[in-house]
Homo-oligomer: A and B are copies of this chain.
Amino acid sequence: MTQSAHLHPDRLFPASEPSRGVARELYPAVRDLPIVSPHGHTDPSWFADNQRFSDPAALFLTPDHYVLRLLRSRGLSYDDLGVPRKDGKPVADGRAAWRLFAANYHLFAGTPSKLWVDHSLQFVFGINDELSPVTADAIYDTIAQKLATPELLPRAILDRSNVEVIATTEFALDPLLHHQKMAADGYIGRVRTTYRPDDVTDPSRPAIVDNLKRFAELTGEDVATWAGLINAHRKRREVFRSFGAVATDHGVPSAMTADLPLVEKQALLDKVLAGRHDAADAELFRAQMMTEMALLSVEDGMVMQMHAGSRRNTDPLLMAERGTDLGADIPGTTDYVNGLRALLGRCGNEPNLRLIMFVLDETTYARELAPMAGYWPSLMIGPPWWFHDSPQGIRRYLDQVVETAGFYNLAGFNDDTRALLSIPARHDVWRREVCGFLGRWVGEHRLSRSSAEEIAKHLSYQAAKDAYRIK
């Protein structure tokens, strides 16, 4: 007999009355609201080409670094899990990898990955058995069969998931070919790009000089002058906006910003273009570019997102064998008060600036971010991110930000995922946790029922649209 994986209708709600009852009553009004997904990493070719997904492992396993990393941590090899190698040596095929995943699925007890996978299996594939060595093949076959049907094509998945709008993320040099195709289709608006210029703002990248050269070509600007460089961004942002972009995104190791005099900015740029910059120069250049991006946002109204605090590629072996984004990025401490001082001092009171901060260092929620978002008109707190996009992560987040920042300085929810099928599962976890949180507070008579109803709806849907200025 196999164990049932039926998800309980009360999952994640408070266990005890009266809070459970309140959560249960709040939830139906938010459960079916459209999904607004203003930040994520789905592949735009899916929506442009609308081709079927190849196999279950390619859908659930190999693109999901949350799943891969936990299996690796228990001694399973990425070869056996079918993760491609740079040297092209063979790795396990989809079914073999899937069996290994299934045989170790008990390792995911208590993790959000299990919540997301179970949700997809049940609600997308109608699978009610728990994934296990016994059920591995049958589940694999069921998924593979359904993937061949029209209702599991990428655009159909957006439809069935009730995704009103979803943003992908592209680098400044990206030719946006898939978005051009979608523009021709009239699909832009539902799918939107996001301007992520790390490729031309971060001099610690080995290709920075080449990248800046290509940036010049792409925009027709002389990026050897500071004014030209900024103008290149100005033009490129405009192009991105023509493909629906409402936001920019910046992946940075720290929250450091700078506001230097022009002569120092030009000197930095000269160094970078000559390839003579050291690590401190790179950091300062990037810090200055954050302020420049904020100033461009003041001009053009694009919402600026900062994803700070990840220490990337901490395993040199993984990097050499297979590359980036496979589980070896680890959060570190972040200093938002000193880091953002230059940027906020320069334009933090500008009505047109909107800066959304994503946090990996939870100690900053109550100490720095909530006080800052509760003061600066330009600053909002993004949803719990990466490892913290989980039931406990969401609880710690709401626990620590709401009292000081209020509910209305929060940017709603982002799924921030590469895993298309997990999108409704992730939004559902957020909505359930919001209802649970509000249920607890109503249960303690800290919030009226009518406020809770309004806030539940706001945080599930409107907050994201407002924060990202999506009309």
A residues apposed to B, CB below 8 Å:
3, 7-8, 10-19, 69-70, 72-75, 106-112, 115, 311, 314-317, 327-328, 330-333, 335, 337-338, 341, 344-345, 348-349, 351, 360-363, 366-368, 370-377, 379, 387-388, 390-393, 396, 399-400, 402-409, 440-441, 443-448, 450-451, 454-455
Residues in B with CB closer than 8 Å to A406 are 70, 73, 107-111
Q: In the complex the two chains form, is B375's CB within 8 Å of A388's CB?
A: no
Q: Which 6 residue pairs are nearest across A and B when measured between Cβ atoms?
A: A15-B443, A8-B445, A11-B445, A16-B16, A390-B403, A69-B375
Q: Which of B17, B72, B332, B391 contacts A375 (CB 8 A)?
A: B72
Given contacts A371-B330, A376-B73, A409-B74, contact A110 B403 (CB under 8 A): yes
User: In the complex, what distance in Å separates the CA atom of A106 from the CA atom of B345?
Assistant: 29
Q: In the complex the two chains form, is A311's CB within 8 Å of B337's CB?
A: yes
Q: Which of B314, B368, B388 contacts A337 (CB 8 A)?
A: B314
Apart from A73-B375, A75-B377: 7 A-B pairs, beta carbons within 8 A:
A10-B444, A15-B18, A16-B17, A109-B407, A112-B403, A392-B400, A393-B403
Residues in B with CB closer than 8 Å to A107 are 406, 408
**Which single residue of chain B is at the shortest CB-CB distance from A17?**
B16
Q: Which of B14, B16, B367, B402 contacts A362 (CB 8 A)?
A: B367
Q: In the complex the two chains form, is A337's CB within 8 Å of B330's CB?
A: yes
**Which single residue of chain B is at the shortest CB-CB distance from A328?**
B375
User: In the complex, what distance in Å separates the CA atom of A192 from the CA atom of B16?
Assistant: 46
A–B Cβ pairs within 8 angstroms, 5 of them: A11-B444, A12-B445, A72-B377, A107-B408, A392-B402
User: In the complex, what distance in Å separates the CA atom of A70 from the CA atom of B330?
Assistant: 33
Q: In the complex the two chains form, is B371's CB within 8 Å of A387's CB?
A: yes
Q: In the complex the two chains form, is B441's CB within 8 Å of A110's CB?
A: yes
User: In the complex, what distance in Å separates the CA atom of A154 from the CA atom of B338?
Assistant: 40
**Which single residue of chain B is at the shortest CB-CB distance from A448?**
B3
User: In the complex, what distance in Å separates the CA atom of A108 from the CA atom of B418?
Assistant: 36
Q: In the complex the two chains form, is B388's CB within 8 Å of A392's CB?
A: no
**What is the distance, in angstroms, from A119's C-beta to the closest C-beta of chain B?**
12
User: In the complex, what distance in Å separates the CA atom of A443 from the CA atom of B17?
Assistant: 12
User: In the complex, what distance in Å separates the CA atom of A371 from the CA atom of B387?
Assistant: 8
Q: In the complex the two chains form, is B367's CB within 8 Å of A360's CB?
A: yes
Residues in B with CB closer than 8 Å to A344 are 314-315
Given contacts A15-B444, A377-B74, A446-B110, contact A388 B372 (CB under 8 A): no
Q: In the complex the two chains form, is A330's CB within 8 Å of B366's CB?
A: no
